[in-house]
Amino acid sequence: MLKIAVIGSRETVMGFKALGLDAVPAANAEEALAAFKRLTRDSDNYAIIYVEETYAKALSAEIDKFKDSPTPAIILIPGREGSLGLGQSALQAAVERAVGSDIL
């Protein structure tokens, strides 16, 4: 059975843990990168990996490796400070790749 993980600050991920997702708190970008690599190494186990936007820039090279892969789906989520707009941009780029034009 495939699992879902969330990487982000402790405040962001603990709510997801209550829902049964694998919560991976990261205090900084280096910890987030190490966690991301560990989770994607086990990519057969994870269908979705949510990543807090705060760490997305530091993880962009690793995230790009999975942009055309069906699993794991990498989804950017806002942190407790609010959205940085990266998740929306990533969704728009994925739709453009799939459809061939910007429909959003």
19: domain CATH number?
3.40.50.10580
What pLDDT, on a 0 to 100 scale, did the predictor assign at position 5? Answer: 95
Contacts of residues 81-89 at CB distance under 8 Å and 24 or more positions apart, as own/partner, are: 81/54, 83/53, 84/53, 84/54, 84/56, 86/53, 86/56, 86/57, 87/53
Q: Within a domain: residue 65?
A: yes
What pLDDT, on a 0 to 100 scale, did the predictor assign at position 42? Answer: 63
What pLDDT, on a 0 to 100 scale, did the predictor assign at position 49? Answer: 93
Question: What domain range includes position 17?
Answer: 3-99
The list of the chain residues with pLDDT below 70 reads 42-43, 81-104
